[in-house]
Chain A
Amino acid sequence: MNRTRPISGDLLTLKNEIEGYAIEYGLDFFPQIFEVCDYDTVNILAAQGGFPSRYPHWRFGMDYDQLSKGYAYGLQKIYEMVINTDPCYAYLLQANNWVDQKIVMAHVYGHNDFFKNNAWFSGTNRKMMDVMANHGTKIRRYMERYGQDNVEVFIDRVLSLENLLDVNVLFDTPELQRKKRSVDIKEMGAGEDDNFLVDDRSQALKAFMRSKSRNEKKDADPKAKTDEHEESAQKPLAKPTRDILGFLMEYAPCEEWQSDVISCLREEAYYFLPQRLTKIMNEGWASYWHSTIMTQRALDASEIIEFADKHAGVMVMGRQNINPYKVGIELFRDIEYRWNTGRFGKDYNDCTNMKDKAAWDTKLGKGKEKIFEIRKSHNDISFIDEFLTPDFCDRQQLFTYKFNPRSGRMEIDTRDFEAIKQKMLSQLTNFGQPVIEVEDANFKNRSELLLRHVHYGVDLDMQYAHQTLKNLYGIWRRPVNLATAYEEKEVIFHFDGKEMKVNH
């Protein structure tokens, strides 16, 4: 059954019109395909991360349940979905009115341009639609063979570690991987039989071959020790790794299909990572362009109120969290203005005459050039780090808040620029996730796994951490440890399959 269909008629004409404006403004994008669908389909797509076909998992069902309810009760509505692929697919809700469709299309061209040009997306597999579908087929087949419950439980465990990614992996080219591995192998002094894996074959294939060779080894020597942990993993690690899924795929005592499942989920997690790293920029950029295209070109005079209403809805400020759309678009506009008027650099910063400063305009006119340059090379962290100014924070009424244990509520803490910037940066660090590294795969010389939480001042949620350790144990199958700090004390959590212990 086809749940989506290509646009035609008026919408197609509109697409061509908007695409013309996008080209005129210098946006550089993948071929754009729009399809329309009903709200149920949009909910399905959104629940599946934008993709029409995913592996079977209850979590998609849960998200679908909530989205459907949200729509039915009128709490939320998804206007559009856009997927980072080449060609770039975007889904429009059939029931959108005309102005909505215009905004959404203009917005999508902004995303598309960002996907194509931003450096953090440079390594993305643009044929992800097929890859996801293949993962679905593979995992379905494993479920048939090994039982749905078994595979699902394993997927649950792997998903538990899905956020433990190493940003640098995004820039791993095959050559780089090869180099890294040969260095690792030398330092680890692993056996020769590892060398044949050092090439640019896909991770999945490698995982497959590795498990094959391991199984052969086992078969050849039935008296071999039953400890399945790879000898190589028992050598001290050359350096800690943050790519936990990658590590487990290589070294955990997994069956063939299990390594393959890890590899599938890891690939998908890394696919979504650039979007998590550029939320503010991506939404800001797309909003900047829908606003520009709509107000300067596409809007009919009769549509202006409706546009303003919808636009304001998207830009609404949150008291509890930063709206990435709002901060993003305002920051891009601010940068454009500053580079048009030359309000940056030593001369401007050192100027102490407030009158001069307020009227500062060198007629530099480099605003457009600057924002295009920024969208190419920055991610949210560097974007905020470099372009957030005290003026901007003031104008946007930004503040930080924290929990006041005495009143039992969240309270505004400060409007100090440095504090706001620090807070925003720390929230964006490592895409908002705690930094966790594999420190030792042979902890206490007992094949135990030691993870270290690199503590930057915020404790982990202990309940979640315990559950996560249990899931990790299910994959590693030997006791697992997590070194972290809790309430300003160094602690190591130890889970041996039966109980959780805390060692100070």
Chain B
Amino acid sequence: MDHPIKRDHARFRKIIKGKIRDNLRRYVSQGQQIIPKGTDKFTVPMPSIDIPRFKFGDKSQGGTGQGDGQAGDPVQGQPDPNGKPGQGEAGEGEGSKELDVELSLEELARILGDELELPNIEPKGKKSLKSTVDKYTNIGSSGPDSLRHLRRTYKQALKRQISSDSYDPENPTVVPIRRDFKYKSWQTKVQNENAAVVIYMMDVSGSMGDEQKEIVRTESFWINLWLKSQYKDIQIRYIIHDATAKEVDEQTFFRTRESGGTLISSAFTLCKQIIDADYPPTEWNIYPFHFSDGDNWSADDTKLCLDLLDNHIIPASNQFCYGQVESRYGSGQFLKDLMARYGQGHEKLILSKIKNKEGILDSIKEFLGKGK
């Protein structure tokens, strides 16, 4: 059996997750705060959940130290009440001011899902791969001794003794016989492996400023998180475009600043090419996202875009998401054009307007709220 402190620990984790959920809006709108650690772990910094006490204010107090230096020299860093070396004494120490909480991808995604009430994604009907997993969820009456289930065995023996009237409550000895033995046994489960690909397209023309990119960055972080928790295997492709489009890696995607005009169709064309080349829609769940400030070069190009969407991208995708980030320079026309064409309630096309950082969470909900 585990030490009872593991329960205290679980309790602490629960409290912490509650706090993160309560403050999710703040975490999301402040972008950078959640730091990925490896592939499926995240560190969430949060204010320590100290038990409040009457205590002295830090700054007015000052203190005593050891070392050289003259009056007026800085004492490096801030005083750390916990700065004890080597050995420690029982029942002391005040605990540090900041907690770094480690959460797994699943935990963080569940927090997001709970907060936004996101439905689980129903993968497309076409299952690509099947795999089998063995899980010890069953009890059987034969098996190797090493898998013997003691509690079930004794329960069975007790039942047998009671029913055969050989059980004496005064002398409650239970002796299992061969026939009582129960063993853990496994069940084979068929799991559908759903492969998914997310294709991010971003307008990097001159009108998309740093703040707009930050919004896209934050939003894609949370979208990735959610989709990763839903699909075992997920691929992410990045496309940037101004008047021409190219595929880039993640770093470049968020860093690049280009200038010049905007031809959205260039991105859509590249997107279509990627899908055609690598991701047959029968086997893949495809999620194209496009972020822009809504400025397109010409009405002709917009027409071309709608064409691409209608005939290629939308039919191939689970859903196509367009997020329009408000910028000082953008006209926001593209959203209006899409709206005029498809309307608000389209099956597979979702439009979202992101006003500022506070709007990210709502926009994520719009994108992922359909469970597709």
Inter-chain contact B95/A66, CB cutoff 8 Å: yes
Q: Which of B5-23 contact A (CB under 8 A)?
A: 5-13, 15
Contact of A412 among B57, B72, B78, B95 (CB under 8 A): B72
Inter-chain contact A433/B54, CB cutoff 8 Å: yes
Inter-chain contact A80/B87, CB cutoff 8 Å: yes
Inside 8 A of A349's CB, which chain B residues have their CB? none
Inter-chain contact B9/A65, CB cutoff 8 Å: yes
Closest to B70 in A: A412
Q: List 16 A-B contacts (CB under 8 A).
A: A62-B99, A80-B87, A160-B52, A319-B66, A319-B76, A326-B66, A399-B65, A401-B62, A403-B60, A410-B62, A411-B71, A412-B65, A412-B71, A412-B74, A458-B56, A468-B52
Give the interface of A toward B (CB within 8 A). Answer: 1, 3, 41, 44, 46-51, 53, 56-66, 69, 77-84, 104, 107, 152, 156, 159-164, 272, 275-276, 279, 282-283, 310, 313-323, 325-327, 396-403, 407, 409-415, 420, 423-424, 427, 433-434, 436, 453, 458-462, 464-468, 470-471
Nearest CB of B to A400, in Å: 5
Inside 8 A of B15's CB, which chain A residues have their CB? 58
Inside 8 A of A399's CB, which chain B residues have their CB? 64-67, 69, 71
Inside 8 A of B51's CB, which chain A residues have their CB? 59, 156, 159-160, 162
Contact of A320 among B7, B9, B83 (CB under 8 A): B83
Per the bound structure, the CA–CA distance linking A320 and B55 in Å amounts to 19
Per the bound structure, the CA–CA distance linking A362 and B4 in Å amounts to 60
Inter-chain contact A58/B11, CB cutoff 8 Å: yes
Inside 8 A of A275's CB, which chain B residues have their CB? 89-92
Is B259 part of the contact surface with A, judged by Cβ < 8 Å? no
Is B134 part of the contact surface with A, judged by Cβ < 8 Å? no
Inter-chain contact B54/A60, CB cutoff 8 Å: no
Inside 8 A of A58's CB, which chain B residues have their CB? 8, 11-12, 15
Inside 8 A of A424's CB, which chain B residues have their CB? 64
Inter-chain contact B58/A461, CB cutoff 8 Å: yes
Inside 8 A of A427's CB, which chain B residues have their CB? 61, 63-64
Mostly helix, strand, loop or mixed at chain B's interface? loop
Inside 8 A of A163's CB, which chain B residues have their CB? 53-55
| Residues of B within 8 A of A (CB-CB), count | 60
Inside 8 A of A461's CB, which chain B residues have their CB? 55-58
Nearest CB of B to A24, in Å: 24
Per the bound structure, the CA–CA distance linking A69 and B89 in Å amounts to 19
Q: Decide: A464 near B64, CB < 8 A? Known: A272-B90, A313-B86.
A: no
Inter-chain contact A410/B88, CB cutoff 8 Å: no
Give me the 5 closest cross-chain CB pairs, A-B, nearest first: A467-B52, A50-B90, A61-B8, A402-B62, A61-B12
Q: Decide: A314 near B86, CB < 8 A? Known: A321-B64, A398-B64.
A: yes
Mostly helix, strand, loop or mixed at chain A's interface? mixed
Inside 8 A of A466's CB, which chain B residues have their CB? 52
Contact of B5 among A48, A327, A423 (CB under 8 A): A48
Is B85 part of the contact surface with A, judged by Cβ < 8 Å? yes
Closest to B90 in A: A50
Inter-chain contact B63/A83, CB cutoff 8 Å: no
Contact of A322 among B9, B65, B90, B99 (CB under 8 A): B65
Inter-chain contact A60/B92, CB cutoff 8 Å: no
Known: A60-B5, A459-B57, A461-B58. 13 other contacts (CB 8 A): A44-B5, A56-B11, A58-B15, A65-B12, A66-B96, A82-B90, A319-B66, A320-B83, A323-B85, A325-B85, A407-B74, A411-B75, A464-B53
Most buried by A among B56, B83, B91: B91
Inter-chain contact B13/A61, CB cutoff 8 Å: yes
Give the interface of B toward A (CB within 8 A). Answer: 1, 3-13, 15, 49, 51-81, 83-92, 95-96, 99-100, 102
Closest to A53 in B: B4
Q: Decide: A433 near B55, CB < 8 A? Known: A56-B8, A458-B60.
A: yes
Closest to A42 in B: B88
Inter-chain contact A318/B83, CB cutoff 8 Å: yes
Nearest CB of A to B222, in Å: 25
Inter-chain contact B65/A319, CB cutoff 8 Å: yes
Closest to B102 in A: A69
Inside 8 A of A403's CB, which chain B residues have their CB? 59-60, 62
Inside 8 A of B90's CB, which chain A residues have their CB? 46, 49-51, 81-84, 272, 275
Inter-chain contact B85/A316, CB cutoff 8 Å: yes
Nearest CB of B to A181, in Å: 26
Inter-chain contact A56/B75, CB cutoff 8 Å: no
Nearest CB of B to A482, in Å: 8
Inter-chain contact B55/A61, CB cutoff 8 Å: no
Inside 8 A of B73's CB, which chain A residues have their CB? 411-412
Nearest CB of A to B63, in Å: 6
Closest to B12 in A: A61
Inter-chain contact B87/A314, CB cutoff 8 Å: yes
Inside 8 A of A59's CB, which chain B residues have their CB? 8, 12, 51
Inter-chain contact B12/A160, CB cutoff 8 Å: no
Nearest CB of B to A450, in Å: 14
Nearest CB of B to A501, in Å: 18
Inside 8 A of B68's CB, which chain A residues have their CB? 397
Inter-chain contact A160/B53, CB cutoff 8 Å: yes
